[in-house]
């Protein structure tokens, strides 16, 4: 390979990583804007007097959105394996844009009655379909575009942008809270602003993704029989890889959604901090969390993926109950911040490398489907139900059982980590 070709390939790779990551960021911003602003719009769609009941209703729709993710994982995974990663990513961001716009424009319950929560549900189902496909396709794309010795580092940017989407949502919330709108204005109409912004950002991401390069791994398999690409039948020929994805995801996704998506509500509803305080803590902790992902991802390129997973599994099993118990009893913002930060450092052992680990388990012709579908199924069941289960247990005065539930799920994943091979040394990406 001549120097000029190497330079072009390197340039294309960097452009692809940046473009794919920015598109991923916009997708997840749209997804998390719902969670971040639920404390403001819940009474617009569910006019209950009790805050916990309103949050349970919005959490219920959040969960239903997760149920669409396996369908999205299957649909977009098949598209990515059959006609290309680039086209699948472009379609997914277009669908997300439509879902955000629908939420922004839906009238309240007082205006159109039961149609309001019905339209909210439809919008969330479309977003669930989109984000369900986004994970597997973008994880595959970033993994295939990375160089062999930097796969952990480059693929970690999927969670940098995933967390970044949350940060933008929270950042917009902080600006609206502190500089532009009163709490009453936010509850009446201000909560619509982030969804309008999401729709606009999606159009920008759509443009970026339409100009991306396809991966060599996909191009090299263009001559493979289409019947072997992106089908469930072909995927089922890899049962061990499928079960490994489910097992390694279970505890990690539950911990991730507890300390990120649900934590803002936990700080308001259980710790009894103000909405502004909880938003600020969430923003700062998530920013540091995002910065940690490339550090952990780069570390996995040096020492392997398995040590990081084992670290998360062991520390998560031991520390979850003490951390959440201490957090539920604190009254200090700083104490809450450091406890959450400790939890997020532990979770980084999973989040930073889970995308590359899954991509390294499957061959190119079913990689996007193999990464996306079993992951989406596991996240739908355990990640999507996390805050609903937590709020349900709180309603009955048994919130501490949720802490043990997380611990049990992490322990199950730890058993998978102990038994699995290090994918860095046994990567299917090396065969592309």
Residue 174 belongs to some domain of the structure: yes
For 41, the token pair is 């719009």
Please report where in the chains the tokens 């403001």 appear, as a residue.
Answer: 40
Q: What are the pLDDT tens digits along the chain (432 aa)?
A: 333 334 446 777 777 777 777 777 887 888 788 877 877 887 777 766 556 666 667 667 766 777 888 999 999 999 999 888 888 988 888 888 888 889 889 898 888 888 888 888 888 888 888 888 888 888 898 888 888 888 999 889 888 988 898 889 888 888 888 888 888 888 888 989 999 998 888 888 888 787 777 777 787 777 666 667 878 889 999 999 999 999 999 999 999 989 987 888 889 888 888 888 888 898 899 999 999 999 999 999 999 999 999 999 999 999 999 999 999 999 899 999 999 999 999 999 999 999 999 999 999 889 999 999 999 899 888 887 887 888 888 888 888 899 999 999 999 999 999 999 988 888 888 776
For 283, the token pair is 């923003």
Residue 129 belongs to some domain of the structure: yes
Q: What is the pLDDT of residue 387?
A: 79
For 257, the token pair is 């959604």
Per DSSP, 365 falls in state G
The most distant pair of C-alpha atoms in the chain lies apart, rounded to whole Å, by 69
Per DSSP, 429 falls in state G
Residue 1 belongs to some domain of the structure: no
382, 358 contact by CB (below 8 A): no
| Structural domain boundaries, residue 152 | 16-212+234-419
**Total of domains in the chain:** 1
Please report where in the chains the tokens 């940017």 appear, as a residue.
Answer: 157
Residues 82 and 366: their CA atoms lie apart, in Å, by: 9
Q: What is the pLDDT of residue 316?
A: 96
Per DSSP, 91 falls in state H
Residue 5 belongs to some domain of the structure: no
Say what the pTM is: 0.83
The angle at the Cα of 316, spanning 68 to 384, to the nearest 5 degrees, equals 15
Scored b (16 or more CB within 10 A) or e, 254-285 reads bbbbbbbbbbbbbbbbbbebebebbbbbbbeb
Q: What is the pLDDT of residue 298?
A: 94
Look up the CATH number of the domain holding residue 382: 1.20.1250.20
User: What is the DSSP track for 187-246?
Assistant: HHTGGGHHHHHHHHHHHHHHHHHHTPPPPHHHHTTTTS-GGGSS-HHHHTT-HHHHHHHH
Residue 411 belongs to some domain of the structure: yes
Q: What is the pLDDT of residue 53?
A: 62
Residue 428 belongs to some domain of the structure: no
Scored b (16 or more CB within 10 A) or e, 33-42 reads bbbbbbbbbb
Radius of gyration of the chain (CA): 21
Residue 177 belongs to some domain of the structure: yes
Residue 227 belongs to some domain of the structure: no
């Amino acid at each position: 390979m001549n120097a000029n070709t190497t330079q072009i390939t390197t340039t294309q790779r960097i452009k692809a990583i940046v473009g794919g990551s920015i598109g991923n960021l916009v997708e997840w911003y749209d997804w998390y804007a719902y969670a971040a602003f639920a404390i403001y719009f819940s009474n617009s769609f569910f006019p209950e007097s009790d805050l916990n009941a309103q949050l349970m209703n919005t959490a219920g729709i959040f969960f239903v959105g997760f149920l669409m993710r396996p369908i999205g994982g299957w649909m977009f995974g098949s598209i990515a394996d059959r006609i290309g990663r680039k086209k699948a990513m472009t379609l997914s961001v277009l669908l997300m844009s439509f879902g955000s716009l629908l939420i922004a424009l839906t009238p309240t319950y007082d205006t159109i009655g039961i149609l309001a929560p019905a339209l909210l549900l439809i919008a969330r189902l479309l977003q669930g379909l989109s984000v369900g496909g986004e994970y597997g396709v973008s994880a595959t794309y970033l993994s295939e575009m990375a160089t062999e010795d930097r796969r952990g580092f480059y693929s970690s940017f999927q969670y940098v942008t995933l967390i970044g989407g949350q940060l933008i949502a929270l950042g917009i919330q902080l600006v609206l809270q502190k500089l532009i709108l009163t709490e009453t204005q936010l509850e009446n109409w201000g909560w619509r602003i982030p969804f309008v912004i999401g729709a606009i950002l999606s159009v920008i991401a759509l443009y970026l993704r339409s100009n991306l390069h396809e991966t060599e791994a996909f191009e090299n398999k263009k001559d493979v029989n289409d019947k072997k690409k992106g089908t469930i039948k072909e995927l089922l020929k890899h049962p061990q890889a499928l079960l490994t994805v489910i097992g390694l995801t279970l505890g990690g996704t539950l911990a991730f959604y507890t300390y990120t998506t649900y934590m803002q509500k936990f700080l308001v509803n259980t710790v009894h901090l103000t909405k502004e305080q909880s938003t600020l803590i969430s923003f700062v902790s998530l920013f540091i969390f995002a910065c940690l992902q490339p550090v952990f991802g780069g570390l996995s390129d040096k020492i392997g993926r398995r040590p990081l997973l084992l670290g998360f599994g062991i520390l998560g099993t031991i520390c979850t109950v003490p951390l959440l118990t201490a957090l539920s009893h604190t009254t200090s913002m700083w104490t809450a911040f450091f406890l959450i930060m400790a939890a997020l450092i532990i979770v980084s052992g999973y989040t930073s490398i889970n995308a590359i680990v899954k991509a390294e388990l499957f061959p190119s012709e079913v990689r996007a489907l193999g990464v996306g579908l079993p992951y989406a199924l596991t996240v739908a069941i355990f990640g999507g139900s996390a805050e609903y289960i937590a709020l349900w247990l709180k309603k009955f005065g048994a919130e501490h059982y949720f802490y043990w539930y997380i611990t049990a799920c992490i322990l199950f994943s730890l058993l998978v980590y102990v038994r699995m091979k290090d994918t860095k040394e046994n990567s299917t990406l090396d065969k592309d």
